[in-house]
Amino acid sequence: MFGRLSEQALKHDWIEYMAGGSMVLGGLVAFLLITYYRKWGTLWKEWFTSVDHKRIGMMYLVVSFVMLFKGLVDAGMMRGQQAFACGESFGYLGASHFQQIFTAHGVTMIFFVGMGVMFGLINLVLPLQIGARDVAFPVLNNISFWLFTFSGMYIFVSLILGFFAGTGWSCYPPLAGLKYNPGVGVDYWLWTVQISGIGSMLSGINFLVTILKMRCPGMTLRRMPIFVWAILATMILVVFAFPILTATIAMLSTDRLIDTKIFTADYGGSPMLFINLFWAWGHPEVYILVLPAFGIFSEIVPVFSKKRLFGYTSMVWAIVAITVLSFIVWLHHFFTMGAGANVNAFFGIMTMIIAVPTGVKIFNWLFTMFRGKIQFTTPMYWFLGFVLIFTIGGMTGVLMSIPAADFQIHNSLFLVAHFHFVIIGGVLFGFFAGFTYWFPKFIGFKMNESFGKVAFWFWMIGFVVAFFPLFILGFMGATRRMDHYSVSAWQPLFVVAALGAILIFIGVGFQVLQILATIKERKRNRDTTGDPWDGRTLEWSTSSPPPFYNFAMTPEVKTRDPFWEMKRSGVRATQEYEEIHMPKNSAVGFWIGLFSFICSFGVIWWMWWLAALGAVGILAAIITRFYVKDVDYHLSKEEVKRLEEKGSP
């Protein structure tokens, strides 16, 4: 009845017991607080079942913050282990536990922090920037969120029942096959990635249709904000890349469940096929993460430079070039695996070429700042930090695009440093900039600037201290994914890297203080005019926070910076108020997410009755959605006008 679930699944080391116990305790405290304040009804009616893109975006951010904390703890544990485990010392983590930590860290940061924060900001901002009242498929948006959320729970469940994969976040076979990993760790990885990937694919379809079909009158493609262009390119990548991941994970699942041997050397199977397919998705994924950040910076730099964005057309073409080229560079992830000189040369050249449109964007932002009246606000600090960190990451990437050089530093800590300079310097710094910039739009007041700037400096200095030594260690021959290094001379550099991680944690602490100080000062900082930063695009033309219907009157766009032109001319929308129809909340997303979790949990532990129950639950939720007609919210012209005059959110 319980498949392979037994008391052995509860046996862990003392660190895992502490982690699992703290997780359970935190969940219990949250449950009791919500129960004590009688908020379950509010959460269910106004948040969990909401199809409002703004609330879904906020829920994405909340989940991503939780996962970011978990990912940072994993990173701190790894840095601490490597600082102590040199020479004769073996540190405090066992080899198996260390492998689980770096695997969980990669999955957490890529799928649940990088993807989560970007989908959160896209949900919050995109419909407002194109003058839409919601996304194209509001219920599908809710389903995507709950698939994302429930899939992330496996990382936490593995702390209590069984263990997580120890294969690295890319989970290469044959190590990921049944022969070398017969336990549940790889299966946890498979279903975590599969379910979140399906949710991301649905979001990609949703946002792509939203951009193509729901732009307000006058917003042609050449008048779209660069952020919208970046999201359009990102969603094209999602729609084309994530089906590759879904199919690849499905094939590896059949290898493990019914021994199909697609990715094993027996009977003609090929592990290299998995690696090719994985990185055919994996390298576009890098740009899926970083293109929205590029769009964020394209919004921030003109606002705080008091200028139009330099080179709008070249920016658009740079985005298009990155989108196309991102699909023909994947093989640089495995130059060392014997593809041959000609193949390596082609992919090396393509990797160098893709740096050109990225460089175009950097120079366009710098030229936007040139002779501008620059305001050094917190979002601008994050942008300037991005320029330094991301440029270093990009230059090291060009170095690694040379196959001969890559042969020397492949699979070393140099690669780890390069990847983090690109992803943290690009994606995470971009998110911090966007979060600070749009915070007053959706909350109603600015964040504390002093704490924000202090947090930036701790992050910036801590990041360089934490990861620059890894470049040096990589050149010295230190390979990645090791819990112990026999060369004692490397230990000082690992200690420096650990000190950098401590500085980053202090920066995170100041970010928490920034939020607390902001809440304390909210009455003094409140600004309901909708434009605390002197913004240029449509989202700032609504109240802060925006009403649930976004716009009482559909805006009409005549320039690339519509709100900037409205402020300069003093002319606002003059259309008549129209009746508004908004979709009603739906619980189908929550139930599909929950039953997906139950179904895959049953498959992981070979509890086939539970898997069947989950599958039936998913089917029932979908059928119910098809045959139960929702009653949409309906606001008459008079109600809309009254709400607008009151300034009601």
CATH of the domain at 232: 1.20.210.10
**Which residues of the chain are modeled with pLDDT < 50?**
649
Residue 567: which domain range?
A: 7-586+630-646
Tell me which residue of 44, 46, 48 sits closest to 35, measured CA to CA: 44
Q: Residue 574 has what pLDDT?
A: 59
Q: Residue 600 has what pLDDT?
A: 97
Q: 625 lies in a domain?
A: no
Q: Is the peptide bond before 649 cis (omega within 30 degrees of 0)?
A: no
Q: Residue 649 has what pLDDT?
A: 47
Q: CA-to-CA distance for 59 and 63, rounded, in angstroms?
A: 6
Q: Residue 594 has what pLDDT?
A: 97
Burial of 484 (0-12, 13-18, 19+ CB in 10 A): middle
Distance of CA 411 to CAs 206, 406, 429, 486, Å? 37, 9, 25, 17
* Sign of torsion over alpha carbons 368, 370, 373, 379: positive
Q: CA-to-CA distance for 94 and 92, rounded, in angstroms?
A: 7
Q: 77 lies in a domain?
A: yes
Contact in structure between 24 and 157 (CB atoms under 8 Å): no
* Sign of torsion over alpha carbons 638, 641, 645, 649: positive
Q: CA-to-CA distance for 242 and 233, rounded, in angstroms?
A: 14
Q: CA-to-CA distance for 89 and 91, rounded, in angstroms?
A: 6
Q: What is 337-398 written as a DSSP string?
A: GS--HHHHHHHHHHHHHHHHHHHHHHHHHHHHHTTS-----HHHHHHHHHHHHHHHHHHHHH
428 DSSP assignment: I
Domains of the chain: total: 1
Q: 615 lies in a domain?
A: no
Q: Residue 158 has what pLDDT?
A: 93
Q: Residue 64 has what pLDDT?
A: 97
In which residue are the tokens 């193509």 written?
Answer: 212
Q: 42 lies in a domain?
A: yes
Q: What pTM, to 2 d.p., does this model score? A: 0.95
Per 3-state DSSP, the chain is made up of helix, strand and coil in percentages (nearest 5) of: 70, 0, 25
Q: CA-to-CA distance for 278 and 283, rounded, in angstroms?
A: 9
Q: 594 lies in a domain?
A: no
Q: Residue 529 has what pLDDT?
A: 55
Q: 180 lies in a domain?
A: yes
In which residue are the tokens 């990382």 written?
Answer: 155
If you compute the radius of gyration of the chain from its CA atoms, what whole number of angstroms results? 25
Q: What is 168-218 written as a DSSP string?
A: TTTT-TTTTSTTT--SSHHHHHHHHHHHHHHHHHHHHHHHHHHHHH-PPTT
Helix 185-213 × helix 226-258 angle, to 10°:
150
Q: 248 lies in a domain?
A: yes
